[in-house]
Amino acid sequence: MAGWSEKVLDIDLNTQTYKTYPLDMEMARLFIGGRGLGARLLWDMVGPEIDPLSPENVLIFTNGPLTGTGYQTSNRFSVTTKSPLTGTILDANSGGFWGMQFKKAGYDVMIVRGKSEKPVWIEIKNDVITFHDASELWGMRVFAIAQKLGQSNNKRNVLCIGPAGENLSRIASIMNDRERALARGGPGAVMGSKNLKAIVVEGKDRPAINDPERFKFLLYETRKLLAASPLTSQALPEFGTVVLMNIMNNIGALATRNHQQTQFEGAEAISGEELTEKYLVKNASCWACPIGCTRISKTEKVEGEGPEFESTWAFGAQCGIDDLPAIIEANALCNDLGLDTISAGSTIACAMELSEKGYMDSDLRFGRADQLAPTIEAMAYRTDIGSDLADGSLRLATKYSHPELSMSAKGMEFPAYDPRGMQGQGLLYATSNRGGCHMRGNMVGPEVLGLPKMIDRFQVQGKSSFVILHQNVSAAIDSLVLCKFTNMGVADEYFARILSTVTGIQYDTGEMTRVGERVWNLERLYNLREGFSRKDDTLPPRLLNDAPTDGPSQGWVVQLEPMLKEYYRGRGWDENGVPKPQKLEELKLAELLVRN
């Protein structure tokens, strides 16, 4: 069938062997690819008895039926696993080039099981799979590995872990194409636990397209739509994602000093405008992307991709630091060591608060830009204070008897948006299946930017319907797999048209949203099976009880309880957050529970 390669590559590191077999196409029709397909496969493979860092956990790499076709932003891919940070289901996705190359190698899915006795790296050249000794590579950093293994954007693409993944940091990322990250939730630690250093891919087959003529027309039309949107043609290319810094600060929703404040006096100094004026070298793009939001920035010490908004915030406002060169360098260091920038920055901020309040014996202090780089190094290598910080803020704060100072949901650190000034974002964080995250829907669109139209950010009643819609659409886009920025120029219904054109299966807009809802509910079922429950759909006490004392969000806390009740009802779940049988029937998920 066009779009999918219909082929699974299944690797067993215990024996360094592999097999290939056909993809279950009924499963593919229901879950499409990427995040959805990964969740469906993980459901069968990894149950509650399996420790995330044991050989029995798996890494499931998936692309989607659009990947590698050349459709705008069709470069992305996913990894799905049980998260060592949260214990929940985890999907992380990344752009760049590796996903496209993996698709061209002829696979929809790669499952990596077991654990190699010695460090190993894998080379994939279509049907030729080779296991290489990685003993000499173990310990090397990401940029050096990418160079040594021949990273070349359109020909040969390197995915790897850095020292953080080797040392099983629960906030370690998997890096691809040198500076792209499958960042959140600690997938790098899972890869490290398997003694797998890198996966290098070279592919030669372009995926088949069911209706090439119509596909060409849709490519043309999409190009026009992206060019016509001021968001995708001007805002993102000109200033990148960091342009959000000033507006979030202006409305009093920029989390500051571990969420102790909601405005940062140094926001202007770390803004997208400042980055563009003083440190931007040029723009860059992922494969087949006309938007080009990537920044190549340069300081006296480093030159490379980024930083994105969330990373700039994490090392900036969240740590009370207004030194942009130090932030750019911290971002580059995390990429080289293979650490999630959001969790790394927010964990350092948590340590700063613990230390300032005397709960932890360290000299970490808010505003100390000079402490960023040495702390990040220590985290990746688990040396000195870094051993306490390497597993994220919740484990750190719990060790020092103040878990309430971890700014996380389900153990995953939040991104930049302080939800006291964005009620919908608070509900979104609390209900996200992988923990505190802005990539499982993001209410910054309707609550701050007026996308597609402005709603009252402090409104509570009725907010859950927006959150549910955004969560479902995000799950659908993550299953195609496309970049969510495409959705700023191209309406949701367009995705059904392009998917139908590529695969020959007729999807309508309703079916795409239903795919997203199906994926969301399957992830919920997975977490319930792991023992998560209503009590985990919550936020730190600071966000629920401590209102900001000044600024535009003064007096507001997250009104979670009424929104959560409304949310469960809107999702067709019972009062404990368990999907009702009729909802599971409707989504074709009921049979999973019977078989389970």
Partner 1 sequence: MPTVKLYANLRKLAGTKEVSITGATVEAVLNELVRQHPPVGDVIFENSHLRPHIVVTLNGHNIIELGTPVMEQDIIAIFPPIAGG
Q: Which residues contact 519 (CB under 8 A, 6 or more apart)?
A: 31, 35, 36, 39, 475, 476, 478, 479
Task: Compute CA distances 493 → 18, 378, 509, whole Å.
Answer: 39, 47, 5
The pair of three-digit structure tokens given for residue 318, joined into one six-digit string? 């969240």
CA distance between the termini of the chain: 29
Question: Please, are residues 564 and 462 in contact by the beta-carbon 8 Å criterion?
Answer: no
In the bound state with partner 1, the residue whose beta carbon lies nearer, of 240 and 392, is 240
Contact between 247 and partner 1 (CB under 8 A)? yes
The residue from 239, 279, 520, 568 that contacts partner 1 (CB under 8 A) is 239
Per rule CB under 8 A, is residue 450 in the interface with partner 1? yes
Pick from 551, 557, 566, 587 the residue near partner 1 by CB under 8 A: 551
Instruction: Give yes or no for residue 70 binding partner 1 (CB under 8 A).
Output: no
Residues 464-503 that bind partner 1 (CB under 8 A): 484-485, 488
Stretch that binds partner 1, among 9-17, 349-357, 434-442, 579-587 (CB under 8 A): 434-442
Q: Which of 174, 198, 236, 587 binds partner 1 (CB under 8 A)?
A: 236
> Closest separation between CB of residue 244 and partner 1, Å?
4
Task: Copy the structure tokens of residue 391.
Answer: 């597993």
**Which residue among 78, 232, 260, 521 contacts partner 1 (CB under 8 A)?**
232
Q: How many CB atoms lie within 10 A of CB 204?
A: 11
Candidates 126, 246, 459, 509: give the one binding partner 1 (CB under 8 A): 246
Q: Which residues contact 298 (CB under 8 A, 6 or more apart)?
A: 279, 281
SS (H, E, C) 178-246: CCEEECCCCHHHHHHHCCEEEEEEECCCCCCCCCHHHHHHHHHHHHHHHHHCHHHHHHHHHHCHHHHHH
SS3 133: strand
- Give min distance, CB of 31 to partner 1, in A: 25
437 scored as a contact of partner 1 (CB under 8 A): no
Residues between 12 and 51 with contacts to partner 1, criterion CB under 8 A: none
Residue 238 binding partner 1, by CB under 8 A: yes
Provide, rounded to whole angstroms, the least separation between the CB of residue 275 and partner 1: 12
Number of residues that bind partner 1 (CB under 8 A): 40
Q: Does 241 bind partner 1 (CB under 8 A)?
A: yes
Stretch that binds partner 1, among 87-95, 138-146, 450-458, 522-530 (CB under 8 A): 450-458
Residue 293's closest CA among 306, 303, 281? 306
Of 296, 449, 469, 578, the one binding partner 1 (CB under 8 A) is 449
Find the part of the chain contacting partner 1 (CB under 8 A) among 72-80, 351-359, 445-453, 537-545: 445-453
Distance (Å, rounded) from C-alpha 329 to C-alpha 533? 40
Write out the binding residues for partner 1, residues 274-333 only, by CB under 8 A: 293, 308-310
Q: How far apart are CB 438 and partner 1 at their closest, in Å?
A: 6
Among 13, 120, 196, 244, interactor with partner 1 by CB under 8 A: 244
Sign of CA dihedral 504, 510, 513, 515: negative
Sequence-distant (≥ 6) Cβ neighbours of residue 450 within 8 angstroms: none
Q: Judged by CB, which is closer to partner 1: 178, or 295?
A: 295
From edge to edge, which strands make up the β-sheet containing 174-176?
128-133, 120-125, 196-202, 157-160, 174-176, 180-182
CB of 501 to partner 1, least distance (A): 26
Q: How far is the CB of 232 from partner 1 (least distance, A)?
A: 8
User: How far apart are alpha carbons 229 and 407 in whole angstroms?
Assistant: 35
Residues lying near partner 1 in the complex (CB under 8 A) are found at 230-232, 234-236, 238-244, 246-247, 250-252, 272-273, 293, 308-310, 415, 438-439, 442, 444, 448-451, 454, 457, 484-485, 488, 551-552
